A and B are shown apart, each in its own frame.
Chain A
């Protein structure tokens, strides 16, 4: 830990003389040719959100294998030409398994993967595959459905707020998942969506939360990464749902639940496969069943019957008996996209770019 912190300081200094990124060695030295695993993050590990949660996965990997792995991470890597250089550096310096954890790293990862056939690459949230390049993504919409159900029961004003980042399939899918829950459990509830055009801007997220509460919203969900909205809800005695990491500490009273990404199990499983020589390219989609999406706790403020139903939903999603997008799924124009008895397939969810019926807003183009 000490060394990593020192390295972080060094990065700050190095950045000052013009180096925008630098490699940071996670562990000093380990015994007997450990497997070197590299991680590329788009944000700072201190965002308490997306990148932070990936880094928690990296730490879980270290803890699980101890001396048998050596991890390296590079944070704050811009999505563009620079990413290719960073990934190539990792591949050159003996890393045999490299995770690139943002959508925008896709093309850079593909390029580097071509040049290093004996290195395994895994790209989060992307769709391009190769023999030595796999993808992985988690089904956040499963957690979002449970959150939508709890919100539908906890709202008194029947106005639920949703702070959204960018209109990409991942975000649209999750908004729709919440609306699916509202349609089923409380059709009178209205979902107010505010786009902040940022993944991470605490000030703006708090402003959005406040603007919603001024308009009568009393439960806030978010697809942005800072706990600022949770805090804003706490201050005004409203409810909120945490995103990516457990945000309960920021709103002891406001916090209903958090939908948490657990990357650790995936990282451990893939590292094990590389060690055993059984790793194969895959397009992995993991959710509550695999433990990639977890809801660590439900708040005491949630009534017992609501909590019981929420837990039933979690169990149902885990065993596959409940699907958030179970038909009939109807779009805003009233067209039936999936008839009763079927579910929306992952192929369709993967590129979802339309709102379902019940959302009273236009999708930003």
Chain B
């Protein structure tokens, strides 16, 4: 393998990992606040269709991304209203949101199947993109990938050294204690859920405007679910989410590259590579069970009643 090929693989790794990274970061924040939203897939699809339709009709990709984010937030508010406002079971609500989002996005998008748009083009940063090996991977991407770097750093900083980050964690660990000291539990959870929706919507927009600029039903092809699993395997650590997302991207790409190079490994075996590699690494990282359990937000998935 020559250096060009490796730098191309790394470039593709980041592109493939980006939607997973965006969804997983959103879900991480959501789960840290104690809310388990299984509606990622539905929110991603709604973001994808809203973003695509907006970009197609207005010709503005920026507007497309904004609408994708708005659609994600709208879906997450629906979840929030049912799961937080009405205290319904979060797992059931999340699953319903996925199924609802899949159907609704197909309905909205039915007139837009087979219509092309000019997708978001990569934007190579001068000089930096010339760095051997890593230049292409880190500095020849499109704006949303750069944004994902920034959002990763922002979420990392948020939980590491900001007061609101502590509030989110407190609400997720023990909402009653948080409530007792006057923290706004429900409002915090709403904001976290909305952030999750915004990120899923953005990931959807990335899929339909940048990654493969088209709309097709169910085009997310399960990425929402993979991102959900990533958060768990990353044991709710921000840096591991990035690692997991990119690792998954790398393994997905290698599965294709190896076949092109004519390696005589079974393609079915290669196809399992992303899952096996990601699970293996993240399980090894969190093999200490007691610690792993401590890492999960204590009140994850439990409804909160202020009165009880």
Residues of A within 8 A of B (CB): 5, 8-9, 11-13, 15-17, 43-48, 52, 161, 192-198, 200-208, 210-212, 214-215, 217, 226-228, 231-232, 235, 245, 249-250, 360-362, 364-365
User: Is the C-beta of B214 less than 8 angstroms from some C-beta in chain A?
Assistant: yes
Nearest Cβ in chain A — how far from B180, in angstroms? 37
Contact in complex: A202, B262 (CB < 8 Å) = no
Return chain A residues, CB-CB under 8 Å to B277: none
Within 8 A of A (CB), among B76-126: 96, 99-100, 102-104, 106-107, 109-110, 113-116, 119
Q: Is the CB of A5 within 8 A of B5?
A: no
Q: Out of A15, A45, A362, which one reaches B103, CB within 8 Å?
A: A15
Say yes or no: B109 contacts A46, CB within 8 Å.
yes
Residue pair B107, A8 in contact (C-beta under 8 Å): yes
- Residues on A with C-beta less than 8 A from B16 are 203, 207
A288 to B263, CA, bound (A): 36
A212 vs B268: C-alpha distance when bound (angstroms): 18
10 of the cross-chain contacts (CB-CB < 8 Å) are: A8-B107, A9-B107, A45-B110, A46-B113, A46-B215, A46-B216, A197-B268, A202-B211, A211-B256, A215-B257
Which of B60-68, B218-226, B234-242 has 4 or more CB atoms under 8 Å from chain A? B218-226
- B260 interface residue (CB < 8 Å to A): yes
- For residue B264, CB closer than 8 A to chain A, the reply is yes
Contacts beyond the supplied A12-B104, A200-B218: 17 A-B pairs with Cβ under 8 Å:
A8-B103, A11-B103, A12-B100, A12-B103, A192-B260, A197-B268, A202-B212, A202-B219, A203-B16, A203-B19, A203-B211, A214-B9, A215-B261, A227-B114, A228-B214, A361-B262, A364-B267
Q: Which residue of A lies closest to B97 (CB)?
A: A16
Nearest residue (CB) in A for B96 is A16
Contact (Cβ within 8 A) A231 B119? yes
Q: Which B residues contact A (CB, under 8 angstroms)?
A: 4-5, 8-9, 12, 16, 19, 96, 99-100, 102-104, 106-107, 109-110, 113-116, 119, 207, 211-219, 221, 223, 252-253, 256-257, 259-262, 264, 266-268, 271
Do B217 and A13 touch (CB < 8 A)? Answer: no
Closest residue of chain A to B207 (Cβ to Cβ) is A203
Given contacts A16-B100, A360-B262, contact A46 B110 (CB under 8 A): yes
Q: Please tell me if the beta carbons of A207 and B12 are within 8 angstroms of each other in the complex.
A: yes
Chain A nearest CB from B6 CB (Å) reads 10
B8 contact set on A, CB distance < 8 A:
210, 214
Docked-complex contact B212 and A210, CB < 8 angstroms = no
Contact of B259 among A8, A48, A195, A206 (CB under 8 A): A195
Judging by beta carbons under 8 Å apart, are B252 and A8 in contact?
A: no
Hey, which chain B residues are within 8 Å of A17, CB to CB? 96
Q: Are A210 and B12 in contact (CB under 8 A)?
A: yes
> Which residues in A have their C-beta under 8 angstroms from that of B213?
231
CA distance A227 to B116 in the complex (A): 10
A364 close to B256 (CB less than 8 A): no
Residues of B within 8 A of A228 (CB): 212, 214
In chain A, what residue has the closest Cβ to B264?
A: A362
- Minimal Cβ-Cβ distance residue in A for B105: A12
Q: Are A250 and B260 in contact (CB under 8 A)?
A: no
Asked if A201 contacts B107 (CB within 8 A), the reply is no
Task: Using A197-B271, A211-B257 as known contacts, say yes or no to A15 and B211 having CB atoms under 8 A apart.
Answer: no
Q: Contact at B253–A245, with CB atoms within 8 Å?
A: no
| Known A8-B110, A211-B257: A46·B217 in contact at CB below 8 Å | yes
- CB-CB < 8 A to A361: which residues of B? 262, 264
Closest to A159 in B: B260
Q: Which residue of B lies closest to A16 (CB)?
A: B100
Closest-CB distance, B136 to chain A (whole angstroms): 11
B214 touches A44 (CB 8 A): no
Identify which of B100, B109, B257 gathers the most chain A CB atoms within 10 Å of its CB. B257
Query: A52 to chain B: closest CB distance in Å?
Result: 7
Assess A231 versus B214: contact at CB under 8 Å? Given A15-B102, A245-B114: yes
Chain B residues near A13 (CB-CB < 8 A)? 100, 103
Closest B residue by C-beta to A212: B260
Question: Would A207 and B114 be within 8 Å (CB), given that A47-B216, A365-B266 are in contact?
Answer: no
Task: Name the A residues within 8 Å of B262 (CB-CB).
Answer: 192, 360-361
Q: Most chain-B Cβ atoms within 10 A of its Cβ — which of A5, A48, A207, A208?
A: A207
Leading 10 A-B pairs by shortest Cβ distance: A12-B103, A44-B217, A46-B217, A195-B267, A202-B212, A211-B256, A228-B212, A214-B8, A201-B221, A46-B113
Alpha-carbon distance A245/B113, docked complex (angstroms): 12
